[in-house]
Amino acid sequence: MILVFSREPELAINGILLWLHSYRAGYIRITENTRVEIEDVQLEGHSCQLRLKIDGRQLCLDEIRSCWIYHGHLSLSNLRIDRQTYRRHADTLVNALVRDVKTLLEFTKYLLEQTNCIGRFNEQNTNKLKYLHWAGQAGLQIPSSAVFASRSALARYQKEQKRRLCCMNPPICWATV
């Protein structure tokens, strides 16, 4: 399973999701409107198990092949402190609870970033070159990409690519007799 973290109105992600769908890759898109809950975290020896519930669907950490974080973030639906709880309890108790929630959220993000992760939760600016590089390292097929400092450099590259294509695929000549 691939977890894709993005903003809801992010239209650029739709092409990527169609691409994942065409490869029949299982994925779940997580936006600011997705309900994410932590069922439990278990640490035992060298192993760690995290169980999440994403919009009602249970998912264990070992089922997550990779994560892609593209302008996305993670907030936990079941770990928010509502106003009634805040009013009922002393500030010190609520502050302690808030710290515990932040600790659990940070640990969850840390575990997700340990998968074949493209992007990081703490990065706000998207660097598409980094994403392409990480995607290639994670074993995803990425399009050939190039960045040039000038139009002349781009023109030289295009000319070279065109020459290579002609050499690899010579024109077929039909002779009639």
pLDDT at 12 over 90: no
Domain that holds residue 54: 2-137
Domains held by the chain: number: 1
- 168 within some domain: no
Predicted pLDDT of residue 177:
44
**Which parts of the chain are beta strand (E)?**
2-6, 27-30, 36-44, 47-54, 57-60, 66-70, 116-118
Q: What are phi and psi of 169, to 5 degrees?
A: -125, 75
- Rounded-to-integer distance, Cα 106 and Cα 75, Å: 10
- 70 within some domain: yes
- 103 within some domain: yes
pLDDT at 167 over 70: no
- Rounded-to-integer distance, Cα 40 and Cα 46, Å: 17
Retrieve residue 121's tokens.
Answer: 């939760």
pLDDT at 170 over 60: no
- Residues 16-69 have pLDDT tens digits of 888 888 989 899 999 888 888 888 888 777 778 888 989 989 999 999 999 988
- Rounded-to-integer distance, Cα 128 and Cα 124, Å: 12
Predicted pLDDT of residue 132:
76
